[in-house]
Structures are given as C-alpha cells and as structure tokens.
Amino acid sequence: MRILAIGDVHGCADALHTLLEFVKPTSSDTLIMLGDLIDRGPDSNQVIETLIQLQARTNLIVIRGNHDDLLLDSLLRGEPRLTWIGAGGLHTLESYGGSLSNIPASHVEFLENMRDYYETDFNIFVHACVDPESPMTMQEVATLRWEKLTGEQRLHCSGKQIICGHTSQSSGLPAYNDAAICIDTKAYADGWLTCLDATTGMVWQANTQRSTRGPFPLMEFGNSLSDVL
C-alpha cells in the first residue's frame, strides 16, 4: 500500500489527469490531496469532478487549502468575495459558467467535507504549515491554511514530519528538511504537479503540457528548504 500526496493543483486538470495516469493509484493506496484544488488554472470545475469520481476507486483524503476556503466563504455569503476573485477565483468562476449558482451540489459537498489535516504514524499532511510547539488538536486554522514555511521550520512536537503545499517552489522541485517536505511545485505557472510517496520518498511529476518526469528519489533531486526559503 502506498501513501501518496499530491500538491496544489490550482485548476490544472490536464496536469492532474496526466499525473494520475502516470502514478496509477489503486484501491489499496491512500491518496492525499493537499488543498488549493482550485483557482489560477482554467479547469477547477473539471478538477473537482475528477476527484469526486476518483473517490470510488481509491482511498481519497482531501485537505482544505486557503483558496478552497475562499470559495466556500463566497458560497456562504452568496456572492463572490473580491479577495477570492483577486486571488485567481475569477478563473474558477469562469469554469462554472460565471456564476456561483452553477456549482453543483456535489461539488459544494465535496469542498465542505475537506479536512484540516491528516496524520499517519510518521507524517502530518497539511496544506500550509503547523506550529511545531502545538498538538494538532490545538492548531490555529490560519496556520494550517495560510502560513508559509521558512527554511528554519522545526520538527513538530509529535516527532512527525509534515508534508505540505502552499509555499510554491519556482524551481519545479520539492523542498525539504527534517521537519517538512513541500510539494507545491507551481503547476499553474509553467511548473510541475508533484506526487510524493510518503513511504518510499519517490516523486512523480506532470505538467499542463501533459509531459511527465520521474519517478525519482526526493533525497537526490529535491532542494533543501534552507537553500530555497
């Protein structure tokens, strides 16, 4: 059984489809989406629909990112928030025909059921960051969804390494230290969409042009957090 994590998709359905075909998750795998499924890229509608269909074929865990949260807040208000629109939400709105009312109930339910984080024996999967001194049950939502990593990120008090997105890596390669692995490799901006097998450290990547690379070992081809942040 593999424990697979995919970084920030940001509406890049072509990259997501290519990556899923490349990695081939099965019913015995756990697949963890690290949030920011939407915005900036052109096909947020299709990304959500793809993942809804994928739930029937694998154990899918979906973490809520800050962009997903902005959309949910707009849905709650009944109108698009300017903060969301300015952060790439316009592309998401256009993918649903220009209106929040066009978002299917199944997509709203999918977004509402996202988790704040997910833990295994060795890792904490989260969108953005964690406070290393606080147990996960005491974490601030703003930290989990909005706070950027630093090169000095310290190991969580549980002893578990976090696997996250949010802090985008312009190099197109994941960044890591003993405390954290960041796999937001900027798929929406001519970068790569990254999948990491947390049990082996192997990495697969795909881009919006449907090119692939890997699998390759994170420890040989990744970047040190202290070097890039």
pLDDT of 90 higher than 90: yes
Domains of the chain and CATH, by start: 3-228 (3.60.21.10)
Distance between CA atoms of residues 57 and 172, nearest Å: 29
Cβ atoms of 218 and 203 within 8 Å: the answer is yes
pLDDT digits (tens, 9 = 90+) for 118-171: 999 999 999 999 999 999 999 999 999 999 998 889 999 999 999 999 999 999
pLDDT of 45 higher than 60: yes
How does residue 226 score in pLDDT terms, banded at 50, 70 and 90? low
Distance between CA atoms of residues 80 and 64, nearest Å: 18
How does residue 228 score in pLDDT terms, banded at 50, 70 and 90? low
Distances (CA, A) of 107 to 7, 23, 47, 104, 139: 20, 24, 10, 5, 27
Whole-structure pTM value:
0.96
Cβ atoms of 192 and 207 within 8 Å: the answer is yes
The residue with greater pLDDT, 133 or 219, is 133
H runs (alpha helix) in the chain: 13-23, 44-54, 66-77, 82-84, 90-95, 105-112, 141-146, 218-221, 225-228
Cβ atoms of 125 and 162 within 8 Å: the answer is yes
How does residue 223 score in pLDDT terms, banded at 50, 70 and 90? confident
pLDDT, mean over the chain: 95
pLDDT value for 150: 87
